Amino acid sequence: MSGLTASMPRLDAEVLIIGSGAGGATTAALLAEAGIDVLIVEEGPWVDQGSVTPFSLEQMDQQYRAGGVTVALGLPSIAYTEGRCAGGGTEVNSGLYFRPPVDVIERWSAQHRIRDLDPDALSVIAAEIEQALTVSTVPGRTTPASEILRDGAAALGWQHNEIPRWMAYPPGGDAVTGKRQSMTRTFLPRAFAAGARMIVDCRVDRLHMAGGTGRSAAVTFADGSTGVITFRDVIVCGGAIQSPALLQRSGIHGYIGRTLAVHPTVKLSARFRDEVNVPDDVPVHQVKEFAPDLSFGGSASHPGLVALALTDHWKAFSKSVVQWRQIAIYYAAITSEGRGWVRAIPGLRDPLVTYRLSHRDRQLLRSGLARLTLLMLEADAEEVYPSFRGAPIVRNRADIASMQQAFAVSKASVMTVHLCSSVPMGELPGRSGADSFGRVHGTSNVFVNDASLLPTAPGVNPQATVMAIAIRNARHFISSRSTTDTRSTTDTRNIKGHHER
């Protein structure tokens, strides 16, 4: 499938971009459009949008790392998922768009001493992103599972919104008619049109460093053969787990991988009288009454995932699985005080990830699950199945008290999708992994430009913030380069590298 194979073991690029998700694809497009010779390498495969059912187990198998089963160890351990395909997480996530929150940006700027991080400038970039990805609300009907969140919140007087998504809808189209404007449909084609090349199914094992300067990348292709890519600059965009792990494997040991931040979530399944399940879409409504500490939303509810959710107390819950059409899955997500570690272990392919929840985090998860349960009852759920071991079936308000009594975070299926902050940017001595524009401290030409840079988890779906910061940093990279030398590109330009579909 990929344009390059092991028969071309030695490659060169002016700028090597590792990873093709929200950070990598935007960076590649901007740099290529500025006339820079760009080579993107992506560990996962290219999967056309529409060739796999969205939010399905099949998708987890094809487009997620390790089939979607990756775990941050701790008490409790937290399951996390990472996209591992061309376009990264943008191909598989919920597509819900939030502008970079102004208060968060201001806090980052002040507390992490990030130079020239201006909320207004980011808003201008956000407007560009909104246009590029056709960010919009659903013109027609939202799904029944989504309306449950809306109606339950309205009954309680809790603030709720329909969150716009990067979807292209036909006029008047309902939620399920949207076409996801992921990176393989937007910024990657833009990068290719401007001459960028891309190799998929190609993993970067390590960067070869000489002093503080990266010289080349050692790579492994899908067939097991290896190669080397030389570059002038390298921009690591592998996401908050893979980026710090690669830096560590390359012997870069600054403030890297010590401050992983996530939005831990707990879940429940709720059964209604009507058929509410939509197997191939997720709700667009979110409840923001308790934000930023606590947010509620809807999860993928493919029948396989419903069955999986009911295994938390299979003995009590299993008889409901045949009614999966009446069941939808929802989550309560928190902003966490806890922190995680990403540590590359010599000889192991994947890094060791650990995460520790604080006392407050645990209280919030408990309270969040209970408040979400109350919302479900207000939306006329007949039964609620909280996702923790030994959970009772909740049918009324008195049952919520029993549920909270029985709850312990250690029994819960805690998971997360928003991973960030493992290479925080800023100028805090000894407390920043990269500088104010993503250059890894202690290096001259190794950059990070993905979710790893966000100093904390932003409290909202982070993709737009990741993209806005990436675009800001890419522009800074381009402008600071144009003032230094302009080394001519090497002779690898004639290699037709970009992926052929």
When the beta carbons of 213 and 410 are compared against other proteins, the nearer one is 410
When the beta carbons of 360 and 487 are compared against other proteins, the nearer one is 360
* 322 to 361: interface string for other proteins, x by CB under 8 A: --------------------------------------x-
| 395 contacts other proteins (rule: CB under 8 A) | no
Residue given tokens 């309680």 in the structure block: 156
d(CA 340, CA 333): 17
Cα→Cα distances 98→205, 284, 332, 467, Å: 34, 12, 17, 11
Pair type for strands 78-80 and 415-416:
parallel
| 160 contacts other proteins (rule: CB under 8 A) | no
Of 160, 285, 302, 418, which residue is the catalytic one?
Answer: 418
Beta carbons of 423 and 243 less than 8 angstroms apart: yes
Positive or negative: CA dihedral 139, 144, 149, 150: positive
d(CA 288, CA 418): 17
User: Taking the CB of residue 371, how many other CB atoms lie within 10 A of it?
Assistant: 19
* CB proximity list for 123: less than 8 A, separation 6 or greater: 99, 100, 102
| 103 contacts other proteins (rule: CB under 8 A) | no
| 408 contacts other proteins (rule: CB under 8 A) | no
* CB proximity list for 501: less than 8 A, separation 6 or greater: 46, 48
- Minimum CB separation from other proteins for residue 390, in Å? 18
Query: Residue 136 corresponds to which tokens in the numbers above?
Result: 């919009």
| 364 contacts other proteins (rule: CB under 8 A) | yes
Among 156, 194, 222, 406, binds other proteins (CB under 8 A): 156
| 472 contacts other proteins (rule: CB under 8 A) | no
Beta carbons of 478 and 25 less than 8 angstroms apart: no
Among 104, 278, 374, 412, binds other proteins (CB under 8 A): 374
* 279 to 308: interface string for other proteins, x by CB under 8 A: ----------xx--xx--------------
Q: Residue 135 forms beta bridges with which residues?
A: 166
| 249 contacts other proteins (rule: CB under 8 A) | no
Query: Residue 304 corresponds to which tokens in the numbers above?
Result: 């396989």
* CB proximity list for 315: less than 8 A, separation 6 or greater: none
| 157 contacts other proteins (rule: CB under 8 A) | yes
User: Catalytic annotation on 418?
Assistant: yes
Among 55, 97, 108, 158, binds other proteins (CB under 8 A): 158
Judged by CB under 8 A, the stretch of 143-151, 187-195, 230-238, 399-407 that binds other proteins is: 399-407
| 371 contacts other proteins (rule: CB under 8 A) | yes
| 363 contacts other proteins (rule: CB under 8 A) | yes
H-helix or E-strand spanning residue 179: strand 179-180
| 107 contacts other proteins (rule: CB under 8 A) | no
Catalytic residues: 418
Binding site for other proteins (CB under 8 A): 156-158, 289-290, 293-294, 360, 363-364, 366-368, 370-371, 373-374, 378, 397-398, 400-401, 404
